[in-house]
């Protein structure tokens, strides 16, 4: 809960006020549900119908929006309303999440661990020997750090996260609940005669650079040798599997239920839809987009948008799909012609 006047909010989002600047806002709400005391935004004109019927106390609208606010309502005019609304959310979250130095009495912290300033460590956390936690970092309850884990400044690790030994996490990261960072890679020797597997020890680690967000229940495996690396600015959704020795390039985004097999290297600024599957030991170049449920069986050397299993350039894949949809009609026409020819014999 917060309490800000329209004037205060306009200063935060750098907007111009039309209407009562002294209206008090206590909640942010989507335009369909906004009511008295709420602030919402209008970024797409197809949502204007909700604004017409809305009793929202304030609305962030485009600079060129022609209508005026109702009585007891204020508009905050901005060039980009959605971005302005997001900036306000970020501002409020930064205030709410500013950590205060606190270590819960049930937390188990090794004497050999280094804890920075303004660090918050919740109930039943385990911080093992050789760990290092940077300034203003938060460990929510039930986080477990094995030996020699390092976490940078201003990072939040949510409940239930486990980081295996030697994991490195940078500054300004968010690791969501249930994520497992640094578990063993899927490495075994198969006895061809008996079919038995012998486990190969995975002695590498995981390195997560600055400004990375890892979704809930995502797993990132440690390397056999060297490091599995998540580069700066990467955003990974929930329920993603990243195999051993992979590299995810800077500012790439991976949606839920994607599986990246071992030793795959994904380029910078890749956009990977949900349920995409990668075979192992592949590479994608920079600026590749993969539509949901695509299957990547070979390296992608050319920037572009790809779809299908195995993947093809998007327009070719769509043409093939269009042709496949016509096959029943084509077969019916073929059977008709075949029967006509047969009857003429």
Burial class (CB in 10 A: 0-12, 13-18, 19+), 214: buried
Whether the CB-CB separation of 41 and 85 falls below 8 Å is answered with yes
How far is Cα 312 from Cα 290, in angstroms, rounded to an integer? Answer: 10
Q: Which of 51, 14, 11 is nearest to 29 (CA)?
A: 51
Give percent helix, percent strand, percent coil of the chain, each to the nearest 5.
20, 30, 50
d(C-alpha 214, C-alpha 158), whole Å:
10
* Cβ contacts of 159 within 8 Å, gap of 6 or more: 122, 140, 141, 142, 143, 177
Which H/E stretch holds residue 90? helix 81-96
Dihedrals phi, psi of 28, to nearest 5 degrees: -95, 140
User: Rounded distance, CA 328 to CA 271, Å?
Assistant: 34
Please give the positions annotated as active site.
244
- Which of the 8 DSSP states describes residue 46? G
| d(C-alpha 94, C-alpha 265), whole Å | 34
């Amino acid at each position: 809960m917060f309490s800000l006047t329209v004037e205060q909010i306009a200063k935060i989002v750098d907007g111009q006020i039309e209407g009562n600047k002294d209206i008090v806002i206590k909640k942010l709400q989507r335009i369909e549900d906004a009511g008295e005391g709420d602030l919402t935004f209008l970024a797409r004109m197809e949502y204007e119908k909700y604004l017409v019927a809305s009793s929202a106390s304030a609305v962030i609208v485009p600079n060129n929006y022609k209508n005026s606010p109702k009585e007891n309502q204020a508009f905050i005019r901005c060039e980009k309303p959605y971005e302005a609304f997001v900036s306000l959310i970020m501002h409020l979250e930064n205030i709410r999440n500013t950590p205060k130095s606190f270590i819960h009495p049930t937390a188990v912290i090794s004497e050999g661990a280094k804890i920075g300033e303004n660090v918050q460590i919740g109930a039943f956390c385990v911080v093992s020997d050789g760990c290092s936690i940077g300034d203003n970092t938060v460990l929510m309850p039930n986080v477990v750090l094995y030996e020699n884990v390092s976490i940078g400044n201003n990072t939040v690790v949510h409940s239930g996260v486990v980081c295996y030994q030697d994991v490195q996490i940078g500054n300004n990261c968010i690791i969501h609940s249930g994520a497992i960072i640094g578990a063993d890679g899927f490495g075994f020797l198969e006895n061809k005669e008996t079919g038995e597997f012998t486990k190969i020890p995975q002695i590498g680690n995981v390195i997560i650079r600055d400004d990375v967000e890892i979704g809930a229940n995502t797993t990132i495996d440690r390397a056999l040798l060297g490091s599995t690396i998540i580069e700066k600015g990467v955003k990974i959704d929930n329920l993603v599997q990243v195999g051993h020795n992979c590299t995810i390039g800077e500012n790439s985004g991976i949606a839920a239920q994607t599986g990246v097999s071992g030793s795959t290297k994904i380029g910078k600024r890749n956009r990977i839809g949900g349920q995409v599957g990668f075979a192992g030991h592949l590479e994608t170049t920079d600026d590749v987009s993969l539509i949901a449920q695509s299957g990547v069986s070979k390296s992608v050397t050319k920037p572009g948008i790809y779809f299908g299993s195995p993947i093809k350039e998007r327009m070719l894949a769509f043409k093939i799909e269009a042709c496949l949809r016509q096959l029943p009609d084509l077969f019916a026409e073929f059977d008709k012609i075949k029967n006509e020819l047969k009857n003429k014999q």
